[in-house]
A = this chain, B = another copy of it.
Amino acid sequence: MKVQITEVAPRDGLQNEKAPISTSAKAQFISRLFASGIVSVEATSFVSPKWVPQLGDAAELWPTLPHSDRCSALVPNMKGLERALSVGVGRIAVFTAASDAFTQHNINQSVDESLVAFGEMIAAFRVARPQGHVRGYLSTIFECPYSGAVSPARVIEVAGKLFALGVDEVSLGDTTGVGSTVETRTLARLVAAEFGIDRIVWHFHDTHGGAIANVAEAMAAGFTRFDSSAAGLGGCPYAPGAAGNVATEDLVYFCHRNGIETGIDLNALARASLVVLDLLGRSVTAKAQLAALAACDST
């Protein structure tokens, strides 16, 4: 068995970080990620620099990226799409949620309004990039930080609308890292029955320490595609100080120990992440990264 990991630290991990990181340091980070065996990277976002200053250099970063054909960029609106296309982006991601309260709070639109806007963006993207690739993020799959519980039926409904718009894949996000293994099992079975395995990616957060257990549940239902963030970068905007994205290091360790291939060298990845943590002034918290670095130190 082999899983496919999409590394989201350069976008989802850095977007909330205050300490500025130079464009060249970002390119070097992504280069080290690829060198460790990562095959797919979400590199940046063409969001307004006013909203996310850390990613304001997306247009400058993109032409310097190694393997930019294996990088994707988040595009929030038509203006962002135009900027992305102008520098050669061939893989885009759009971002909505299962919860109207969440999208209202984040982008001042209902979920359906966001989907209408995506339809226009995706059409424009297809014209410019007939061979291009579109990911649809679907966040708050278990719970919304503003309106509470989300039903599996609602997740299926919005994922279906995203596929109807022509996205190539949907990434299902437990945005606040609350989901239990029972919730994951229930949703994974429903999603597999409705959409199959290949076009679905799981995006777990480790806010309460259960992300790897949820990965195991999704794998048990047959899924093989996961998002994760080097060093667990990203935090949780809805609980400042709490953990966010599941760490790629923890995910890779879990896979390898269970005999599942990732193609990733865990030690090389742990060192690549360490460089960025140092730039951010952050200490190591991802457990498999701590263990890998401790083992490297002692040999």
Contact = CB atoms under 8 A, between A and B. Distances in A.
Interface stretch (A19-27, A115-123, A188-196, A286-294): A286-294
A287 B181 CA distance: 17
B290 A216 contact: no
User: Size range of the interface on A?
Assistant: 35 or more
A208 B288 contact: yes
Contact of A294 (B210, B242, B259, B293): B242
Interface stretch (A6-14, A75-83, A249-257): A249-257
A270 B295 CA distance: 30
A86 interface: no
Contacts of A257: 178-180, 183, 208, 210
Contacts of A208: 250, 253-254, 257, 287-288, 291
How many copies are assembled? 2
B250 A287 contact: no
A294 B241 CA distance: 6
Interface string A246-282: 0101100110011100000000000000000000000
Contacts of A180: 254, 257-259
A182 interface: yes
B291 A240 contact: no
B294 A240 contact: yes
A298 interface: yes
A234 B68 CA distance: 43
A99 interface: no
Interface string A219-253: 00000000000000000100111110001011001
Interface in A163-187: 177-183
A183 B207 CA distance: 25
A197 interface: no
A66 interface: no
A285 interface: yes
Chain B CB within 10 A, most for which of A212, A215, A286 = A212
Which A-B residue pairs are the 5 nearest by beta carbons? A209-B250, A180-B257, A239-B294, A209-B287, A213-B213
26 contacts: A180-B254, A180-B258, A180-B259, A181-B216, A206-B209, A208-B250, A208-B254, A208-B257, A208-B291, A209-B212, A209-B253, A209-B254, A209-B286, A210-B250, A212-B212, A212-B213, A213-B213, A213-B215, A216-B216, A239-B294, A239-B295, A239-B298, A240-B297, A240-B298, A241-B294, A242-B290
Given A209-B287, A210-B212, A242-B290, 14 more contacts: A180-B259, A182-B259, A206-B287, A208-B253, A208-B257, A208-B288, A210-B257, A213-B213, A236-B291, A239-B295, A240-B294, A240-B298, A242-B294, A243-B290
